[in-house]
Amino acid sequence: MESRQLEILRAIVEEYVATEEPVGSKSIASRHGLKVSPATIRNEMAVLEEGGFITQPHTSAGRIPTDKGYRLFVDQIATLKPLSKPERRAIETFLEGAHDLDDVIMRTVRLLAQVTKQVAVVQYPSLTKSRVRHIELVLLNNSRLMMVLITNTGRVEQRVLELPYDINEGLMGDVRLRLNNVLTGKNMADVSAHLDTILSAYSHNERTSIALIISNLMEMAIDRPEEKVVLAGTANLARASQEKPSEIQAILEALEEQVVLLRLLSDAKETMNVRIGAEQSEKSLKSTSLVTMTYGTDGSPLGALGVIGPTRMDYSSSMSAVNAVARYVGRFLTDDK
């Protein structure tokens, strides 16, 4: 495609996103500085329409982008818009005062919805991709124990165990020390490989209770299929969408399902991933676009986040915000605190 046609497509996308109105050749000629006549622009628009990149919703109207046009815009034309000073300041400070992982995730999803004016989705950090920060054992009585597992992302898992034999504070303290010496800093996925040698230091009766502790710890380290995803900003979709109320309702109902949200984030990558319109796998979401990205350390993502909105979204701004928030929350969660 010729560069002038690409510039005209860019102009149509940007103006349609801004005005929600079909874009005509005169508007492009007067507002976008292409230094060509409206007649030349109309000829190029005819080529773009023939190629399926734009369409004319009404006979007397201008043109609007198609899914194919948005895809070309995202792949070849769109550039990440620099965030405004207020947006940068918000992203830099939005986690200040967060006191636990739930608070971090909720602040993240609300901020992303606010900055992009889209529906934001954020996946909790995956347990198996985290590292052990600390294991705490709390003796409730001689045969009842609470085990608390804390990861480097701030995720907390706990279980109460009924032990087959009594255990005293001294033995429990020794087990706690050994577990932390062996596991602190290890990836959760590798926990089971480091526990074999611990049992050999104890007597038969002690081993029975300690084996129960170890087996439960191994179970806690296994990633669960019910990983949580939270969302915010559903009102943004209702305000921005040109869909009929019944179609908006179908979209909102789909977004209420955790399994749908997990599927939406399942193909997120360390680089930006954008799915547009018909590329969506969910039937009720084919009038929407999705921008996603993983967060976490390089080469070891902990989870994913993104925004979903109408195909007529501001892709450049949305991509910039998703990129900035993903990188910042990844650094925050993996920083040794």
Listed by start position, the domains of the chain span: 3-77, 85-124+227-334, 128-220
pLDDT of 221 reads 76
pTM of the model: 0.81
pLDDT of 298 reads 63
User: Is the pLDDT score of 96 beyond 70?
Assistant: yes
Rounded Cα distance between 325 and 331, Å, is 10
Angle 258-265/245-255 helices, nearest 10 degrees?
Answer: 80
Contact (Cβ atoms closer than 8 angstroms) between residue 18 and residue 31: no
Which residues touch 316 (CB under 8 Å, ≥6 apart)? 78, 79, 80, 81
Rounded Cα distance between 143 and 70, Å, is 63
38-52: average pLDDT: 93
Contact (Cβ atoms closer than 8 angstroms) between residue 308 and residue 122: no
Rounded Cα distance between 138 and 309, Å, is 46
Contact (Cβ atoms closer than 8 angstroms) between residue 312 and residue 20: yes
264-284: average pLDDT: 91
- Statement: 85-124+227-334 belongs to CATH 3.60.15.10: no
Rounded Cα distance between 15 and 248, Å, is 24
**What would you report as the CA-atom Rg of the chain, rounded to the nearest whole angstrom?**
26
pLDDT digits (tens, 9 = 90+) for 200-247: 788 887 888 888 988 888 888 775 655 789 999 998 887 766 666 677
pLDDT of 138 reads 93
pLDDT digits (tens, 9 = 90+) for 123-176: 998 877 788 999 999 999 988 999 999 988 888 888 999 998 888 999 999 999
**Which residues are registered as beta bridge partners of 230?**
122
Q: In CATH, what class is 3-77?
A: mainly alpha
Select from 3.90.1170.50, 3.40.50.300, 3.30.390.60, 1.10.10.60 the CATH code of 128-220. 3.30.390.60
Which residues touch 21 (CB under 8 Å, ≥6 apart)? 62
Structure tokens at 89: 């300041």
Residue 35 — pLDDT band, cuts 50, 70, 90?
A: confident
pLDDT digits (tens, 9 = 90+) for 51-86: 999 999 887 778 999 999 999 999 987 778 888 888
Angle 315-334/101-116 helices, nearest 10 degrees?
Answer: 160
pLDDT of 241 reads 60
